[in-house]
A and B are shown apart, each in its own frame.
Chain A
Amino acid sequence: MSKSKLQPSEILDQIDELRQEVDEHFRDELVGEIYAQAHRVTQSTVKVLSKGPTWDQKLDWLLTHPIWGWPLMVLIFATVFWLTVTGANIPSAFLAGLLIEEGGLSSWGREYLNLDLPAGLSHSLYELLHMLFNGLHSPGWLTGLLLDGVYLCVAWVVSVMLPPMAIFFPLFTLLEDLGYLPRIAFNMDPMFKVTGAHGKQALTMAMGFGCNAAGVIACRIIDSPREKLIAIITNNFMICNGRFPTVIAIGAVLAATQAKGGFLGGSVAAFTVIAVVSLGVLLMFAVNYALSRTVLRGQSSTFTLELPPYRKPAILRIIYTSLIDRTLFVLARAVTVAAPAGVVIWLVANLSISGEPVGIYLVHLLNPLGWLMGLSGVILLAYIIAIPANEIVVPTIIMLIVLLSGTHGLELETGKMVETGTENLAKLLFAQGWTLQTCVCFLLFVLLHNPCGTTIWTIWKETHSLKWTALATLLPVAMGITICIIVANIWRLFS
């Protein structure tokens, strides 16, 4: 090497040659030396005088245990779902009586309070509004559009969605506030690594539990663009709170038809919810794996996750934020979508072409695909109407059934009045030819279909890519159709 002044580029070329001689584990060794020295220094300077592990260390040992962590996680969530499903029954029936059912709250009073309520409560708001409109000599189409369309759809959304959300959100926020979510992320990290994704995806998934659009935005915490895309695409496999009430409602229907209510019924419903959520998580891992082996190939990057200390939950703040920020926010959005959807549904049921409502044509058109998927034309039509927001799928199905079959939801084909909200729904659906298989395929399709309009828009904003937005939108719906067809036809084969 000459001693004369060399240019930086020449020196750097020499350095580049030198670095070829260093072996590839260089970085590990470098970090290893730092760790070793930090260990030596702390050994001689830090004395732990404590009497053994503190309660939070013991709790962490249990909650993040490689074996016990998993059943505990399932148990915790099962409890939350069980409380939600069983707890939602009574207020759900109350709201249905108050807002929709013939006879108002009288049947609810007999069922849950064991007493006859005063006659003033024996009319639902729906009936009172009908009386008012008739008294004002409102034209039939206007009454139909406003009451049987807009009002009924909004009222169904409120009575089906409000109670489970008002119970589930505070419970979930409680888990969040206690500091349990990062422990879940810790438990799941090995799975993400195996499937070629980033461990922080667990946190974005937890956000997706609330809202997929929020979950997609949360993917910003993942640094590697490849793993971020995987997390964005698979966020839809987490049941958002728009779809939660649907799953809970079907869980309650199964509880009412497969078990006779009570603790067992609640367990059936809670198990249904757990099964759907777990399947969503499994499929998410499967898609992670598939993506990281095909279009988004690569290794998982490492990261550090600090388990924050357990905190005493601030109960009042939890109730406030979960009821105001989440429940009312989601409900307001659902109602906003439900009102125009009510108009569409009423028009579909009442506009006629040569004597038959448009809805009947559409249902007949969709019936073959619906049958193939183990669903029905009505369900698929409800899905198409509900594309702007998943929240209103069940109310839309109820409305379509009610309007297309000529009853307004108070009486069924037997002419008998039904007792409670859930049983009402169960009888209504099973009277339409629903079976256990329909419920299963329906749940699968609830889990596996395109993200809602807001989420698709958010994915576009986060990725700025037509390709990835299209993949994130079409992949789940394609999976949903395929899986429903397979399940329905295997089921038919064996029954």
Chain B
Amino acid sequence: MSPKINTQPPIHSRNCSGCTACDPNTLTMQRLGIKLDGCDYVIALAGNPNTGKTTVFNTLTGLRQHTGNWPGKTVARAEGAFACQGKRYKLVDLPGTYSLLSASVDEEVARDFVLFGKPDCTVVVTDATALERNLNLTYQVMEITTKVVVCVNLIDEAKRKGIDVDIASLQKQLGAPVVATAARPNQGIDQLVQAVAGVVDGTLSCNPKLPPTPKKMQAIVERMLPMIKQMVPGLPSARWVAYRLIEGDHRIRQALLTGELAALYPISLPVTWAASAQEPKHV
């Protein structure tokens, strides 16, 4: 099943907030800066360093997080907010990483947020000029959560370099919504927000097509899956947890042992929450 996305560009510009004449598909987006209270959804921004992730963050929130050309150490995460069609979104800018295999502190921060922070949607910002390398992180995020939007950023730079990305085909092969953006000249941001809105309210379903489990360990992983499901019935990423347990990941084992994960993911169907702990709606 491939995700349904309204690929039509919105007719109105972004800042016509409050205009009732708008077609429901059109965005009425508002940048909220650091006004974080009362947010309905939490959105995580993940991505490799140097993909313009922070530029996307700044464009959405109107904040001016420092953007750098040097992979320094941003262990702390930046937070901002925006509103769209009556819903308020909290945006969390995770440290730029190449993987989530927690080799370093920043990777652990990013991974822990995607798993334990349970964002309503994780946007993976990728670099259109180096898509292959960026997909590695994309797959690692999709192994943890099914609520993903892939943002193919720097599409203008790719065009300049003679690189053409087939967005529709990519979307089909990944099994997750894909949006092409050029955050600096502010292109495609509306479509990105639309896709995020679709994922959080369940109108846009994702069915990630993940890399297969290596043959040699398939049998063992299959035997582990029901055991993990028994501990955490609502986990969307039992396979990923199995991988981590095989590796001897201490943090994950501890989270299973203490029931931390079970408390986070209690129900066995893909569900959507509003951040304000409402009754979960089944899809």
A residues with a Cβ closer than 8 A to B are 6, 8-9, 11-12, 14-15, 18-19, 21-23, 26-27, 29-39, 41-42, 44-51, 54, 220-221, 223, 301-306, 308-309, 311
Contact = CB atoms under 8 A, between A and B. Distances in A.
Contacts of B213: 33
B165 interface: yes
Contact of A45 (B69, B71, B166, B220): B166
Contacts of A39: 132
Contacts of B212: 33, 37
Given A54-B161, A223-B103, A19 B246 contact: yes
Nearest to B162: A50
A30 B103 contact: no
A303 B170 CA distance: 28
Contact of B164 (A12, A44, A46, A305): A46
Interface in B114-170: 131-133, 135-136, 138-140, 161-166, 169-170
B280 to A, nearest CB: 23
Interface of B: 48-50, 69-73, 98, 101, 103-105, 131-133, 135-136, 138-140, 161-166, 169-170, 173-174, 210-214, 216-217, 220, 223-224, 227-228, 230-231, 243, 245-248, 253, 256-257, 259, 262
B69 to A, nearest CB: 5
Main secondary structure of the interface of B (DSSP, over half): helix
Contact of A38 (B72, B135, B216, B223): B135
B30 to A, nearest CB: 34
A10 to B, nearest CB: 10
Contacts of A8: 231, 256-257, 259, 262
Given A34-B136, A36-B211, A308 B162 contact: no
A33 B256 contact: no
Given A48-B163, A49-B163, A29 B216 contact: yes
8 contacts: A22-B220, A37-B139, A38-B135, A44-B166, A46-B165, A46-B166, A223-B103, A303-B103
A9 B257 contact: yes
B246 A12 contact: no
A39 B133 CA distance: 8
Nearest to B167: A45
A58 B262 CA distance: 53
A45 B73 contact: no
A11 to B, nearest CB: 5
Contacts of B257: 8-9, 12
Contacts of B170: 41, 45
Point out which of B210, B227, B247 has the most chain A C-beta atoms below 10 A from its C-beta: B227
B72 A221 contact: yes
A304 B211 CA distance: 22
A220 B131 CA distance: 29
A100 B192 CA distance: 68
A221 B73 contact: yes
A21 B216 CA distance: 10
Point out which of B133, B136, B161, B211 has the most chain A C-beta atoms below 10 A from its C-beta: B211
Contacts of A29: 214, 216-217
Nearest to A43: B132
Contact of A306 (B50, B104, B135): B50
Point out which of A46, A221, A302 has the most chain B C-beta atoms below 10 A from its C-beta: A46
Contacts of B247: 26-27
A37 B165 contact: no
Contacts of B72: 221
Contacts of A34: 136, 139-140, 211
Contacts of B169: 44-45
A90 to B, nearest CB: 36
A22 B163 CA distance: 41
A30 B164 CA distance: 29
Contacts of A14: 227
Contact of B217 (A26, A35, A42, A305): A26
A318 to B, nearest CB: 15
Top 3 A-B pairs, shortest CB-CB distance? A50-B162, A38-B135, A29-B214
Contacts of B133: 38
Contacts of B223: 18
Given A18-B223, A29-B214, A30-B243, A12 B256 contact: yes
B132 A46 contact: yes
B258 to A, nearest CB: 8
Given A21-B220, A29-B216, A30-B243, A47 B163 contact: yes
A144 B268 CA distance: 88
B71 A306 contact: yes
A34 B104 CA distance: 20
B161 to A, nearest CB: 6
Given A9-B257, A38-B138, 17 more contacts: A8-B259, A15-B228, A18-B224, A19-B245, A30-B243, A32-B214, A33-B214, A37-B139, A42-B135, A45-B165, A49-B162, A50-B161, A223-B103, A302-B103, A303-B104, A306-B48, A309-B69
A19 B248 CA distance: 9
A223 B105 contact: yes
B162 A51 contact: yes
Point out which of A14, A26, A45, A304 has the most chain B C-beta atoms below 10 A from its C-beta: A45
A48 to B, nearest CB: 5
A37 B174 CA distance: 10
Given A46-B163, A306-B50, A15 B245 contact: yes
Nearest to A57: B161
A458 to B, nearest CB: 17
Contacts of A32: 214
A18 B224 CA distance: 8
Contact of B246 (A26, A48, A220, A311): A26
A33 B211 contact: yes
A46 B227 contact: no
B162 A301 contact: no
A18 B220 contact: yes
B55 to A, nearest CB: 15
B131 A42 contact: yes
A390 B117 CA distance: 50
Given A18-B224, A301-B103, A41 B217 contact: no
Nearest to A307: B50
A23 B230 contact: no
B160 to A, nearest CB: 10
Contacts of B162: 48-51
Nearest to A44: B169
B217 to A, nearest CB: 5
A305 B70 CA distance: 10
Nearest to B246: A19
Given A22-B217, A223-B103, A44 B163 contact: no
Nearest to B165: A46
Nearest to B127: A306
Nearest to A18: B220
B164 A308 contact: no
